[in-house]
Amino acid sequence: MGMRPRKWLERKARERAHRQWGELSENVDRIGAAQLHRLRDEALGLRGSLNRFLSGTDRRAQVSRRALDALSLPGGTDWRWRPGFMAGPITPRGLAEPASGASLGAQATVWHDCPQRALILEQVRSPGVTDLSPFGLRLEVFGFSGSFLSVAIELPREALAGLTRDHVIRLETGIEVERPIGIYARLNIGHGPNTEEIPRKFADLEAGLQSRQVIEFDLAYTEMNERRLEKIWLDLIFESPRMSAVEIHELVLSRHLRAEF
């Protein structure tokens, strides 16, 4: 079989980039401040891409994606998705005392106004034999003195492709709490200068037991402009979270067309 020039050139480009970053790391003390700042931004972007690639190739992530196809979802489901931090390992694995707006992996961002930042957000292995996700997310809160705490999960662009007001967004979760607290799920859809917000409250959660719940967001009740869709994300909002812990063992989003009668 003949050599494919494009593949060969791509491989050589990656090898050259690897050598360049190796040389830069050995000479970091001799790089000027302005160039160092620029290179650091490049390195962070590269690290994010590499982490996503490694997560996508992880065997557990591949098993998780196959498990999505086996889920029992409503007829007409045309999109399904599980966040990457539920499917495969991420780097870093956790955030201790995170600032508001700090991200764990590529999709989860914590928002709060606690001056002491008395919380931990981390990826954990799913312990249950019935858990389809190999990983979960744990939020541990200590002396929380703020007024709000949430974790925002960014959905991929594929969720917006062909999205209409005839769709229903479905959220299936498995959540365990250390003590009973109120948890809300809010779907946000940005269209042009406006954002549609659809809040839903989880049913009461019993301490120490994993609760499997399904929440649906019917887009018929929104004023969403289907021609100007730009962004979609989910907020998990925790009410009075002080001295508590929440573990998310499952989180699957899907969409289907509303049944017509």
- What is the chain's length? 261
Question: Which residue segment(s) compose the domain that 246 sits in?
Answer: 57-257
Closest by Cα among 149, 169, 166, 148 to 158: 169
Q: Residue 72 pLDDT > 80, yes or no?
A: no
Is residue 102 situated within a structural domain?
A: yes
Pick from 246, 208, 214: nearest CA to 110: 246
Phi, psi of 241 (to 5 degrees): -85, 5
Q: Total structural domains in the chain?
A: 1
The reply to whether 8 falls in a domain is: no
Assess contact for 253 and 73: CB atoms under 8 A. no
Is the residue at 174 inside a domain?
yes
Give the C-alpha distances (Å, rounded to integers) separating 11 from 8, 25, 43, 54, 110.
5, 21, 19, 17, 37
What H or E segment, with its residue span, contains residue 23?
Answer: helix 5-26
248 in any annotated domain = yes
* Runs of H (alpha helix) within 71-147: 84-87
Token code pair at residue 7: 């593949």
What is the percent of the chain with per-residue pLDDT over 70, rounded to a whole number? 85
Tens digit of pLDDT for each residue in 201-256?
A: 998 888 877 888 999 999 999 999 999 999 999 999 999 888 889 999 989 999 99
Mean pLDDT, rounded, for 53-75: 60
Amino acid at 12: K
pLDDT one-digit tens code per residue, 38-63: 888 888 777 766 666 665 565 555 54
Q: Is the residue at 37 inside a domain?
A: no
Whether 50 maps to a domain, the answer reads no
CATH code: domain of residue 158: 2.60.120.260
Residue 180 lies inside a defined structural domain of this protein: yes
The pLDDT tens digits of the residues spanning 138-155 come to 999 988 888 999 999 999
Residue 106 lies in a domain: yes
Write the pLDDT tens digit of every residue in 96-117.
999 999 988 778 999 999 998 9
What is the average pLDDT score of the chain?
84
Confidence (pLDDT) at 161: 94
